[in-house]
Amino acid sequence: MFGILTNKGQVSSVSLDGFISIDKMNYFETYFDKQFKKFCDDLPQIVEKSEKGKEHLNKQIEIYGKENIPFSEKVYLFNSLMSTWYDDWIDRDDGWKLIKTYVPEFIEYLHDNVVDNLYGVLIKYELPDNVMEFHRDWGGDLGLNPLEEESRHASETWIWFRFSDTKKLYISDIDGKDDISKRIPMKSYGAVFNAFDYHGCYDGSSGFSARINGGLKQNIIHGEGINISTWKEWYPPDDYWKKRDLTL
């Protein structure tokens, strides 16, 4: 497992629970549910900016009628559009506008408590019958076993949040991809982990979660003794990452 380097050695993940409020995380579960309902009410206007989204919604209306679109299809559109990554669905700026419009309290909380720089956001609503399969990110070009030094880049690190006990995430080395006994549960509500490690769910996980790509606040880096010596593009951010910064 590539994990995260700290002054205690190499660890599978670093908990952020000492720097966030669990009560606030639980509040966000209700908050996200309320904001999701607003998102659904506004879907016709939202998908106008996304050709793929508009095509998908029109197909659902044709099949089910305007008032009977399945809940799972609305979740699918939410997951596809509330992101700054899926360029084939909606461009980065429009995705960021949606995130700031529908979950502004969470974004403000991130800026106040977790990140100094924010480069990417993905909000996900996971239904029990549609859990995230085990996978690794950014590994295609490097094969299944990237070298240790190839895995030590800040852009391959996720900051992850869940907002209730029903949302679960597990991480593992390559041998945990197909072996449940090798998977390590993420017990914290917020964590940093290496996206080159396998991660996903398998046991009825459900609820809202967020994956963040960004620069952690210095008090978190110092408090947890995170080794950022190889994250030179981000600390401090170079010109490229300064341009990528998503601001309020």
Q: Give the integer Cα–Cα distance in Å for 148 and 21.
A: 34
- What distances in angstroms separate CA 221 from CA 134, 162, 198, one per listed residue? 28, 20, 23
The residue among 98, 101, 106, 84 whose CA lies nearest residue 30 is 106
Residue where the block lists tokens 């895995």: 151
Domain boundaries, the chain: 4-244
How far apart CA 15 and CA 19 sit, in angstroms, is 9
Residue-level pLDDT at 175? 84
Q: The whole model's pTM is what?
A: 0.92
**Separation between Cα atoms, residue 183 and residue 12, nearest integer Å:** 11
Omega into 236 within 30° of 0, i.e. cis? yes
Q: Please, what are the averages of pLDDT over each run of 10 residues along the chain (248 residues)?
A: 90 96 97 98 94 94 93 96 90 96 98 96 93 77 59 79 96 88 95 90 93 95 93 87 92
Predicted pLDDT of residue 93 = 94
